[in-house]
Structure formats: structure tokens, C-alpha cells
């Protein structure tokens, strides 16, 4: 995951969440990534489900633009984010922008057209109200 952050931040369009470094927990010896922190944060799924009717189209498109910029950074670094089904994958910060939060499901390109289980790599989820 650290390699993905580093590769993406060397691109012309860096990820929106700033990466500051890595650290090691003194007791458990686990490594963790030190990233930008925002107090007013929610998942994109949660944000849209609570505020969809009050969001104007400009704001909805702006959130989509931020997300597409992060995806462009990933793709330029030769990675794909395979699954957005996890609510915490994309976060909204300060009610103004969104960014990809986790890269656990990212895979390096090139990929085959099937995943390990034989299913399609790219999935589209639709939701109806």
C-alpha cells in the first residue's frame, strides 16, 4: 500500500489526501501510514444518503470530479482500485471534497480480465431510492 501512495504522489495529478510518511508502533511493531487528518469526515455513501436532496448538482459534480482525479492518479501510476463497495473507501472532507481513503483493494496493471475467483475485475454498482 505504501508503494501505491508513493507512486501516485509522483504523478502530475497527485492524490488529494496528503501522505506524510510511515511510522512504527513501539509496542506492536506494526507499521502505519501517516496521512492528512480532517475532523469533519464521513464516507461518501453516508454523506450522499444523508444529504442527497440538499446537494445541488454543482456540488455532486464537484465530488465526482475529485474522485475522478484520484482515480486518474491511480491509473497514471498503473494501478486500479477494484472495489468501491466498502463505505470507507471514499471519504468526504469538510463537506467540500472527497478522496480515496484506502488502497487495500488496489492492484497493479496489467490485470487479466478476471479476478482470482473467476469473476469480472470491474464491477458497477447501482442503487435505487
- Per-residue pLDDT reduced to its tens digit, 41-75: 888 888 888 988 899 999 989 988 888 888 888 88
Is 113 part of any domain? Answer: no
Mutual angle of helices 2-9 and 57-76, in 10-degree steps: 100
| Mean pLDDT, rounded, for 4-17 | 64
Mean pLDDT of the chain: 73
Is 67 part of any domain? Answer: yes
Task: Give the pTM.
Answer: 0.63
Q: In a 3-state reduction of DSSP, which class is residue 40?
A: coil
**Confidence check: pLDDT of 98 > 60:** yes
CATH number of domain containing 20:
1.10.510.10
pLDDT digits (tens, 9 = 90+) for 78-91: 877 766 556 567 88
What domain range includes position 49? 2-108
CA nearest to 100, candidates 89, 84, 86, 87 = 89
Please tell me the distance from the alpha carbon of residue 28 to that of residue 110, in angstroms, as a whole number. Answer: 35
**Confidence check: pLDDT of 129 > 60:** no
Is 119 part of any domain? Answer: no
Strand partners, 41: 93
Amino acid at each position: 500500500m505504501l508503494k501505491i501512495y508513493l507512486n501516485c504522489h509522483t504523478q502530475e495529478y497527485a492524490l488529494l489526501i496528503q501522505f506524510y510518511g510511515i511510522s512504527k508502533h513501539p509496542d506492536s511493531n506494526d507499521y502505519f501510514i501517516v496521512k492528512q487528518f480532517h475532523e469533519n469526515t464521513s464516507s461518501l455513501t453516508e454523506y450522499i444518503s444523508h444529504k442527497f436532496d440538499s446537494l445541488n448538482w454543482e456540488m455532486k459534480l464537484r465530488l465526482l470530479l475529485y474522485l475522478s482525479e484520484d482515480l486518474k492518479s491511480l491509473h497514471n501510476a498503473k494501478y486500479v482500485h477494484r472495489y468501491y463497495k466498502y463505505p470507507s473507501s471514499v471519504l468526504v472532507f469538510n463537506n467540500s471534497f472527497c478522496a480515496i481513503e484506502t488502497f487495500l483493494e488496489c492492484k497493479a496493471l496489467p490485470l487479466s480480465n478476471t479476478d482470482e475467483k473467476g469473476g469480472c475485475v470491474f464491477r458497477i454498482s447501482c442503487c435505487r431510492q
